[in-house]
Amino acid sequence: MLPTLARFAARGSSYYENGSYRMSPAMIRARRPYFWRNFGTFLIIASVPLGVYLYTFSFLHTDDLEDIPVPPLSDEQVQELQKEYRKEKAEQAAAESRKD
């Protein structure tokens, strides 16, 4: 089997131009009747990952991140955040002391 395949490959290489590896005119002619249908199949298959990507992209864009405070902040907001922070710290410390 191997010699046949090797011979096949040797002659098959005449379908690519030396050096540039462009398809030869004979290969282009042989593939032409199938070009548009193959291209359609490519579009259908390519639409699956592309659709997944676009859906994820649009889904993530519905989140405008308004719940994250961005400076500059007013004094009231700073105080509220500091209060939240202290409360969190205190809870952490309580939890650690209970563990010991």
Partner 1 sequence: MDPPASPDQPTVENRFHPWDQSPSPDLRMRAATIKAKAKCPVTHKDINYTCPLSGIPTHHSREAWEHDEEYHKTKKWEILKKVNIYEHDLRSGRPFPEFDFPTDQPEDMLVNFKTWDTYLYTRSFYSMDTEFQLAVVTKMLTFPTTIASVLHQFSPYFLQPKGPITMEGLKSLAALRYTLYPENRASTIRERPVRIFLLNAKSESLLPPHIWKELAYLFPGVSFELHFIGPECYFDREKKRFIVKDTPIVQRLDDSMCFYFHTQDFHVLHEAQDFFPYDPYLDVFFCFHPRFAAEELSDTWKKAVPGLLDSKCAIFSTGYHKQNVDSDYNWLVENFGKDLDILMERTKNVFGSTKWELNDLDPQDVFQFNQQLFGFRGKRYHAVNKEI
Site map for partner 1, 14-53, x if CB under 8 A? xx--------xxxx-xxxxx--------------------
Token pair of 19 as six digits: 């050096």
Return the number of the residue (11 or 98) whose C-beta is nearest partner 1.
Answer: 11
Q: Which stretch binds partner 1 (CB under 8 A): 6-14, 40-48, 54-62, 87-95?
A: 6-14
Q: What is the DSSP string of 28-93?
A: HHHHGGGHHHHHHHHHHHHHHHHHHHHHHHHHHTT---TTS--SS--HHHHHHHHHHHHHHHHHHH
Number of residues that bind partner 1 (CB under 8 A): 18
Could you say which DSSP state residue 13 is in? G
Q: Which residues contribute to the site for partner 1 (CB under 8 A)?
A: 1, 4-5, 7-8, 11-12, 14-15, 24-27, 29-33
